[in-house]
């Protein structure tokens, strides 16, 4: 059984458990986006509830997992693949996102270049990702509103045009981090129960 490690706004969070059946999904999630946008910090905030402003966090080759329980008593176990800087090497990306059910594409609201790069990743996944992949567009570092250079509306518009879920987050303040994963979980295709 799951070891529950805490309850976060409607989510039961545990560190282990989750079998792949109709009520208990297990899914691969990849994060894409420029270096420095906060991908690793988002993962650490979600999985460990921590933010470390000093470290250049890189989780590396392994993945972290986190299970959440939804209102309808289904659970979703995310197997989260964070890059160890492979985002710099576009040619390696297909190895990384192969088989992913979910792609979380992250940019930094203070950096228009990272928004452009996010759009590149969306196109790449539309061309080469699995056809039923669930994509989320994440505008991170929302706490830095005084340095904002990408308007919220630009993110909303782009996501809408591309059938993606959009959310602004802050790994630093934890704003919308759990909501991001909860909303993704709700959008996953469910296996049929027959």
Ligand X SMILES: Nc1nc2c(ncn2[C@@H]2O[C@H](COP(=O)(O)OP(=O)(O)O)[C@@H](O)[C@H]2O)c(=O)[nH]1
- Interface residue with ligand X among 7, 19, 36, 190 (CB under 6 A) is 36
Which pair of tokens denotes residue 32? 């894409």
Q: At what angle are helices 39-48 and 177-187 packed, to 10 degrees? A: 90
Please tell me whether residue 114 binds Mg ion under the rule CB under 5 A.
no
Whose structure tokens read 């985002």?
87
Which residues contact residue 144 at a Cβ distance below 8 angstroms, ignoring those fewer than 6 apart?
Answer: 109, 110
Please tell me whether residue 57 binds ligand X under the rule CB under 6 A.
yes
- The CB density around residue 5, as the number of other CB atoms within 10 Å, is 15
CA-to-CA distance for 171 and 24, rounded, in angstroms? 27
- Interface residue with ligand X among 13, 25, 30, 41 (CB under 6 A) is 41
Please tell me whether residue 148 binds ligand X under the rule CB under 6 A.
no
Which residue number places its CB atom closest to ligand X?
A: 38
Please tell me whether residue 186 binds ligand X under the rule CB under 6 A.
no
Please tell me whether residue 140 binds Mg ion under the rule CB under 5 A.
no
DSSP code of 86? G
Where does this chain touch Mg ion (CB under 5 A) — which range of 21-29, 37-45, 93-101, 126-134?
A: 37-45
Where does this chain touch ligand X (CB under 6 A) — which range of 6-14, 124-132, 168-176, 178-186?
A: 168-176
Residue 193 CB, shortest distance to ligand X, in Å, is 38
- Taking the CA atoms of 54, 135, 164 and 193 in sequence, report the sign of the dihedral they define: negative
CA-to-CA distance for 157 and 16, rounded, in angstroms? 37
Residue 161 CB, shortest distance to ligand X, in Å, is 24
The site partner of 66 among ligand X, Mg ion, none (C-beta below 5 to 8 Å per kind) is: none
Q: Which residues bind ligand X (CB under 6 A)?
A: 33, 35-41, 53, 56-57, 140-141, 143-144, 170-172
């Amino acid at each position: 059984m799951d070891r529950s490690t805490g309850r976060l706004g409607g989510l039961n969070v545990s560190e282990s458990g989750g079998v792949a059946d109709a009520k208990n999904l297990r899914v691969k999630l990849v994060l894409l986006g420029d270096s420095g946008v906060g991908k690793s910090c988002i993962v650490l905030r979600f999985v460990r509830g921590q933010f470390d402003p000093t470290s250049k966090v890189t989780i590396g080759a392994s993945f972290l997992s986190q299970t959440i329980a939804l209102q309808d008593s289904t659970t979703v176990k995310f197997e989260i693949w964070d890059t160890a800087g492979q985002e710099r090497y576009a040619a390696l990306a297909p190895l990384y996102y192969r088989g992913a059910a979910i792609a979380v594409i992250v940019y930094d609201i203070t950096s228009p270049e990272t928004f452009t790069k996010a759009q590149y990743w969306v196109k790449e996944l539309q061309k080469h990702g699995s056809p039923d992949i669930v994509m989320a567009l994440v505008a991170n570092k929302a706490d830095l509103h005084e340095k904002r250079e990408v308007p919220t509306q630009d993110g909303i518009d782009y996501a809408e045009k591309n059938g993606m879920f959009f959310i602004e987050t802050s790994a630093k303040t934890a704003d919308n981090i759990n909501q991001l994963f909860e909303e993704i979980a709700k959008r996953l295709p469910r296996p049929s129960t027959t």
